[in-house]
Structure 1
Amino acid sequence: MTPASQIGTGDCLLDSKIKEYLHWNKDNEAEREIIALTEANDIKTLSNLFLKRLEFGTAGLRGRMGPGYSQMNDLVIIQTGQGLLKYLLETVIDLQDTGIVIGYDGRYHSKRFAELTAAIFINEGVKVFMYSQVCPTPFVPYGILKYNCSAGVMVTASHNPKEDNGYKVYGKNGAQIIPPHDKLIQKSILNNLEPWVTSWDTSKIYSSTLFKDPLDEVMISYYNIIKNNTIYPEVNKNTIIKFTYTAMHGVGYLYMVESLNAASFKSFIAVEEQKNPDPDFPTVKFPNPEEGKSALDLSFKTADKNGSTIILANDPDADRLACAVKKRTGDWHVLTGNELGALLGWWMIHAYQVRNPDEDLSNVVMLASTVSSKILSTMAKKEGFQFEETLTGFKWIGNRCEELTKKGKIPLFAYEEAIGFMCGSTVPDKDGISAGACVAEMAAYLETMGLTLIDKLEEIYKTYGRHITDNSYWICHDQETIKNIFEKLRNYDGKPQTYPSSIAGGKYAITSVRDLTTGYDSTKIDNKAVLPVSKSSQMITFTFDNGLVTTLRTSGTEPKIKYYNELCASPELQDVDALRKMLGEMVLAIVEEFLQPKKNGLIPRST
């Protein structure tokens, strides 16, 4: 095999980057892969690995595992940990005393990446609270608040494919970091690329006086909160409902057992094949319960075999929750994130009023991301609580909840349509473990009245109006085409800041437009949007006179133009077929008139 010193691809910059990586790297397997690529003269692959770099963003790092600067590996983690540490030392006065919380999931190399991070902080005199075994992502933000730490790191790629891993960073408020911290951390990483002598040494972290395993204490305090928030323990204890649970080969099983025990439930039925952490995710194509029936096939079989009528499912790091309900017809309905959001919104108000019978809801706030259903907004107008909309991503929800708490408000519930739920403010992030207990208790309570979760959802729609959604996306690999599509919408009449006023030949009128790329909002006196603006991403929302809200946006990680459509009908309009027909007609018009897929060469989702 070619020695590293003799590498020569003919590209001076590429050769220098490969040699630099091999000089700093101490992973023998990575070195063998790199040498094999150079011997094969695979310039394209080598250029992608060494001339590009994983960039630290608001979700931290996430990418495929393997050698090179553009993938997740020991050296990239060390560089990231060093940059993060330096940034925190510059911005946090008492970092060494307050410390950092570190957790990891069951993916390949997750524990290794966590240990490397811990070593970097401990070797610089910083206290580290690192969980001694795989844990749910929510335990990191919870631990930050419990121990008053200055930051947190969770090593996880959530529901990504098995080849991926990630590095998620939280601030001292327990929420995921938001700009400008991401860019400043990225700058610090680039200023600290060469590994320090001590960064590779993980041998002494567990014996260090600066190391603490918080697992036992967190288990006690976290589940005490769930127990104290349970309002019908006797109902839960005696329910006839049989719950089936899947951890989706992730970390959730042991933690969901404790969650339902804390809420006084008897044991649930586990999907045995998916019960324990397995980084190969052997039984699912995608380890994401949001995929619906394709990811829950084994759950349906287990539930049917055991006479179970409700399925609860976590994603591999247990920050998301999915739920399926067996209908009276015998088939299964997988609740969408918006449907579960409506049910949990109702439940959290119900639970709050049971606990606080003499208080009104004027100080209570519920939140949802801008592409989620407007059902909470509709409920707020009728029930008297406050509703706030945030940008997509729980980082925005979590940070806004902290701001509201400081103002004396009560962030009671928040969610996003991608099955992320925050029940209460114990964890300022999505939490699939506590949400699981809430859904189970809601189901048990409704069962005492002869109602299912689907029955209750129907009641909610009859009370507040039907909210019917149609969300999908088109694929486009040409960034210039995507830009032109959105620029045309902003210059619809050939003049700047003139947007469409209707669709379908004037049949459906547009009453307002919000453009979070330019900061325009037609509903404001000064036409300036309240939500944060990002010029690097495309996002326009149209509201129609019949209650339809449509958002067109680009994906930050995939070549997609996503569209989110929700028809928010008044309670008087309950003809589902008629409403779906209207929604279908409008979505077709929006796609044909705004996106023009044939003209722009867009690829449909189905292919």
Structure 2
Amino acid sequence: MKEQMKQWLARDPDPVTREELQQLIDAGNAQELAARFSGRLAFGTAGLRGIVGAGPNRMNRLVIQETSTGLGHYLMKTVGTAAEQGVVIGYDGRPDSKAFAHDAAAVLTALGIKVYLTHAVAPTPLVAYGVTALNAAAGIVVTASHNPPAYNGFKVYWGNGAQIIPPHDQGIAAEIDQAAVQPLKLLALDEAQQKGLLVWLDELFYQDYRERVKASALLQNHTEPASVSIAYTAMHGVGAELAETVLADAGFTQVYSVAAQREPDGTFPTVNFPNPEEPGAMDLVIAEAKKHQATLACANDPDADRFAVAVRTEEGEYKMLTGDQVGVLLGHYLLTRTNPEESLVGTTIVSSSLLQKIATAVGAEYFQTLTGFKWLTNVAMQKQSGSKQFLFAYEEALGYTVGNMVWDKDGLTALLAFAQLTAELASHGRTVWDQLEAIYREHGIYLNAQVSIALSPNSPPIGDSLRQQPPEEIAGRNIVRIDDLKTSTRHFSDGTTEAIDLPGSDVLIYFLEDESRVVVRPSGTEPKLKCYYEVIEVIDQVDTLAHGFQRAQSSMDELLRRHQNSLTGLTAD
């Protein structure tokens, strides 16, 4: 490891991380050095993400340069016109993001690849949009999204505008390994510009996205927007300017941004964890909403690809909607704005199945994918046709995309679509809560929950144990079907089987006789088992929604308790 550290110090272009590493060496901090040099940040379908610091197992300028070199070489080998098409690069407001983005540009232009580089911070969906709008070969966003301040990331898009999927991730990773042991070439950005290899994406690019939003057929509902008031937070991220702009363009005049969180600040001084799903993260925007008695309290995460909302209740308080509730409301609404029989909508295997029920009822085509927006959008592109146009997709972790303008989750257009949905309801004297109740009364209450179980780092794969002795019931409810995505096989209780058209993944989905569902899968990033639960409770017109939810929650509590107990012995924290 000493030789490895010596080579790192010789290659690292950043005096800050060189000094950091030298101090660790001088202090003899073997544990920390081992953590940084025991491996390399793994490049996968989400690109790179990790803690900023010195060493190959951290995010830093050298890792970015090596990664960019590997990506450039892979593009040149697999896309014949990659150099001419170029790569779009944008970045968020974290302290190192601009330097990392500029390093990526310097590397790619040195390889002769044209680069379109945003002149300032940019929301992630804007860069994803730019890939297809500029007909680029790929895109890069330097962002750690909603991770804590110590993190940064390097997200890669393919030329279709969607996040990369296999085999591109493995191909890029192999080229990165080669780049890590070879001299690196960089071209100064001024020189790259003079050679015509660097194009700065100025305000015209941002305005182009804005104009496309204004022209979107799905975002033309201008029913009394001024009647809806919206409190908004960018959560110290990069979404505020465009979020406020697209809302204003659509006629929403009562928009109140949280001043303390409006400007980009990668230290996130007012939130412990800049993820709208985390407890306390929405406190300031809800306080802003209360001050103005706003209809909605809305948030984007720091790179503006996710959207969260709390809705004012009759009592004047604010209650968060779950990601599934927002997805169902948006999907239902958009299916009323177009011909559903010509529409394609989708969710992931761990999201609520209520959207499928709604789509089936109106004749729309529905699809389901593995978790992750990379799958939702890539599969949507494959499935859409002249007679079935992609309309909407979502995942329960606050990710939504409206139409095919951006082939990734877009918190900005989701914000606008939800505001327009709310305004249309208000014009009829109805609220978001009224609409949810109407959907539940028509299709049933779909209640979803998730539990993560810490595992021993050395514990054997739980999925394999469950496959060896498959359960016949869960919480006293007979299993009628098991979908095993590892073997791509669907097993029915009568012994018959059929193939599943999904990529292989270590996931088991149990369908129970009362239409409840349990999904079991390991975490892809840490030693945890993730369990997703869904129960369905039918309510009739004389039943109250509150009683229906009480029954659903009681059913969920029993399912959770008994299933978690059944895993005891297979798991250990």
Category of TM-score, reference length = shorter chain: over 0.9
Q: Distance in 2 between matches of 1:315 and 1:205?
A: 33
2:294 maps to 1:308: yes
CA distance in structure 2 between the partners assigned to 1:242 and 1:15 by the alignment: 60
Counterpart of 1:298 in structure 2: which amino acid?
L
Q: What's 2:483 paired with?
A: 514
Q: Describe the shift of the 1:197–1:395 C-alpha distance in structure 2 as closer, same or farther (beyond 3 A).
A: closer
Letter in structure 2 aligned against 1:440:
A
Corresponding residue number in structure 2 for 1:357: none
1:558 aligns with 2:556: no
Q: In the alignment, what sits opposite 2:517? A: 549
SS at match of 1:75: helix
Matched with 1:5 is: none
Query: What's 2:472 paired with?
Result: 501
Q: Quick one: distance in 1 between partners of 2:6 and 2:250? A: 56
CA deviation after TM superposition for structure 1 residue 406, in Å: 5.1
1:235-290 alpha-carbon deviations (Å, 9 max, x no partner): 11x31x21000000000100101111222221510111100000100000100012
Work out the CA distance in 2 between the residues paired with 1:97 and 1:259: 32
Q: CA deviation at 1:470?
A: 2.0
Q: CA deviation at 1:115?
A: 0.6
Q: Could you tell me the TM-score, scaled by structure 1's length?
A: 0.90
State the match for 1:223 in structure 2: 210
Query: Is contact 1:286-1:295 (8 Å) kept?
Result: yes
Alignment of 1:102-181 (within 5 A): 102-181=89-168
Whether 1:436 aligns to 2:415 is yes
Contact 2:70 2:175 (C-alpha < 8 Å) held by counterparts? yes
Q: Which residue of 2 aligns with 1:446?
A: 425
- In structure 1, how many angstroms separate the alpha carbons of the residues matched to 2:403 and 2:112? 35
Cα distance between partner residues in 1 of 2:89 and 2:500: 37
1:289 partner SS: coil
> What's 1:34 paired with?
21
- Answer yes or no: is 1:331 the counterpart of 2:317: yes
CA shift digits 1:518-564 (9 cap, x unpaired):
32211596533221103xxx311100010101101111112221111
**Post-superposition shift, 1:407?**
6.2
Deviations 1:71-99 (A, max 9, x none): 00010000000000000000011111111
| More divergent stretch after superposition (217-226 vs 137-146) | 217-226
Which runs of structure 2 are paired with 1:440-589 in the superposition (5 Å)?
440-481=419-460, 483=461, 485-492=462-469, 499-504=470-475, 507-522=476-491, 526-534=497-505, 538-570=506-538, 572=540, 575-589=548-562
Summarize deviations over 1:117-148 as a string: whole Å, max 9, x none.
11111122221111111111011121111111
1:79 match: 66
Residues 452-501 of structure 1: CA deviation (Å, up to 9, x unaligned): 112111111111111011212111133424x1x32221121xxxxxx211
Go from structure 1 to structure 2 and tell me whether the alpha carbon gap of 1:403 and 1:600 turns closer, same or farther (over 3 Å shift).
Answer: closer
Q: Is the 8 A contact 1:257 1:267 kept in 2?
A: no
Structure 2 SS opposite 1:510: strand
Aligned residue identity for 1:489: L
TM-score (structure 2 length as normaliser): 0.95
% identity of equivalent residues: 36
Check the 8 A contact 2:535/2:556 in 1, yes or no.
Answer: yes
C-alpha separation in 2, matches of 1:48 and 1:204: 38
CA RMSD of aligned residues (A): 1.8
For structure 2, list consecutive stretches of 5 or more residues without a partner in the other structure: none
Q: Indicate whether 1:321 and 2:290 are aligned.
A: no
Deviation at 1:571, TM superposition (A): 5.4
Q: 1:400 to 1:18 in 2, by over 3 A?
A: same
Answer yes or no: is the 8 Å Cα contact 2:509–2:520 preserved in 1: yes
Deviations 1:207-228 (A, max 9, x none): 5422222343433332223223
Letter in 2 for 1:340: V
Moved over 6 A (4+): none
Counterpart residue identity of residue 564, structure 1: Y
- Identify the range of structure 1 (194-203 vs 407-416) with the bigger mean alpha-carbon deviation: 194-203
Cα distance between partner residues in 2 of 1:321 and 1:381: 26
User: Is residue 110–residue 187 contact of structure 2 (8 Å, CA) maintained in 1?
Assistant: no
Amino acid at match of 1:83: G
Cα contact 2:69–2:184 (8 A) shared by 1: no
Mapped pair 1:591 → 2:568: no
Question: Whole-Å Cα distance in 2 between the matches of residues 296 and 197 of structure 1?
Answer: 44
Equivalent residue pairs, number? 564
CA distance in 2, matches of 1:207, 1:90: 26
Show the counterpart of 1:9: none
